[in-house]
Amino acid sequence: MKKIPVYIISGFLGSGKTTVLLNMIKECERNQKRPGIILNELGEVNVESFLFNNQQVKELLNGCICCTIQDDLKETFRQFIEEIQRNHIDLLFIEGTGVANPQEIEETLMSPEFLDYYELHSIISLIDASHFLEYQSIFSSTAEVRQLLKEQISSSTMVLANKVDLVKEKSLSKIEQKIKENVKSGVPIFRTTFGNISIKELLLKRYYVHTAEAHQEKTLESSPVHEYKSEHHHSTINALKISQLPEMKKRELETWLKKLPKTVLRGKGIIKLEGSSGLYNFQFSSGNLIVEKMEETAYIQPTIILIGDRLNIEEVLHSFNRTFKTKSV
């Protein structure tokens, strides 16, 4: 089954997210592509829902999909899997609230449950250039707002500095410098008015997940990792999915995870423990491992997913195979 491309559109309140989303939907219509759309609002009603008539839209209201209603987001992803299996949608757009942290949405997409169905292509972050410096000032904004803006920018694979027609060139230079201080190396910054930018740039794939089976390092010779390093410079954050896992001991897994390079920022997955029935979900971050028994789920297979900054895929996979080399796959 082909994976569905996913685009996350984030940005602070009033930055122009909906305008960009509508432009991307129009491009889908021109190319006879059927988009699925997830719209998130903090309130009880989405007053802009009329803009998406005749579209496959799922609205998540009364909360933010990156925190308070994340379970609703997961359920919505499951519902769209059914649409994917029926071949009813060709790609998926997610527009978070103005206070959403896209990294939380990214991590949900990277979970083993969804990784075989969705392929994250880009995290597009918009900033309102006419108010950006004001939002950055300790005299006119709160620490919470400044932190949120930093999170929205730092997790992006491209940034649109929107509403530049309302800003003088001197201020634009300061804005771009502020953005560069927070984005990952190689993330492009575009100046836009009314969110007007080449559709080709918006739809460009800028996020890469490398897939390998345990005990098969040679598969990396033809994997996207080499193409990514040599031809794509949009982001230094990448992910590795390891499948075909052996049964393992919790302590052995924990020791291996803690010995991984510091460039590994996050680990998660589904494993089968030696001597135990069923599957277990694990989360690893900041040196801490949490393992929980899962309910029976027929279609999920044991998988490890690692997300990091400039991951050395070959090194990580070699370390895994060396640690679990006595196991049978």
> Do 15 and 100 sit in the same domain of this protein?
yes
| Span 146-154, average pLDDT | 89
Position 228 scores a pLDDT of 29
> Do 219 and 293 sit in the same domain of this protein?
yes
Strand ordering across the sheet containing 264-271: 209-213, 237-243, 303-309, 264-271, 280-285, 288-293
> Do 220 and 88 sit in the same domain of this protein?
no
Which of these three, 186, 203, 220, is where a domain ends? Answer: 203
Question: Hey, what are 101's tokens?
Answer: 């942290």
Instruction: Evaluate whether residue 328 is within a structural domain.
Output: no
The domain spanning residue 195 has which CATH number?
3.40.50.300
> Do 126 and 177 sit in the same domain of this protein?
yes
> Do 112 and 220 sit in the same domain of this protein?
no
> Which tens digits make up the pLDDT trace of 217-265?
444 332 333 222 323 333 455 678 888 899 999 999 999 999 998 878 7
User: How many domains in the chain?
Assistant: 2
Which of these three, 203, 225, 254, is where a domain ends? Answer: 203
Which of these three, 169, 186, 203, is where a domain ends? Answer: 203
Out of 84-88, 122-126, 186-190, pick the least confident: 84-88
Element (H, E) at 215: none
> Do 225 and 271 sit in the same domain of this protein?
yes
Type of residue numbered 146: R
> Do 215 and 199 sit in the same domain of this protein?
no
Nearest 10 degrees: Cα torsion 289, 290, 291, 292:
-170
Cβ proximity of 38 and 58 under 8 Å: yes
Position 208 scores a pLDDT of 84
> Do 77 and 224 sit in the same domain of this protein?
no
The domain spanning residue 316 has which CATH number?
3.30.1220.10
How far is residue 281's CA from residue 146's CA, in Å, rounded to a whole number?
34
Question: In the chain, what is the greatest distance between 2 CA atoms, to the nearest angstrom?
Answer: 66
> Do 176 and 257 sit in the same domain of this protein?
no
> Do 166 and 243 sit in the same domain of this protein?
no
The pLDDT > 90 percentage for the chain reads 44
Q: What global pTM score does this model have?
A: 0.75
Instruction: Evaluate whether residue 329 is within a structural domain.
Output: no
> Do 172 and 312 sit in the same domain of this protein?
no
- CA angle 175/187/5 to nearest 5° reads 125
Of 97, 93, 163, 107, nearest to 133 by C-alpha is 163
> Do 65 and 199 sit in the same domain of this protein?
yes
Position 185 scores a pLDDT of 84
Cβ proximity of 59 and 49 under 8 Å: yes
Which residue range forms the structural domain that includes residue 116?
Answer: 4-203
Instruction: Evaluate whether residue 15 is within a structural domain.
Output: yes
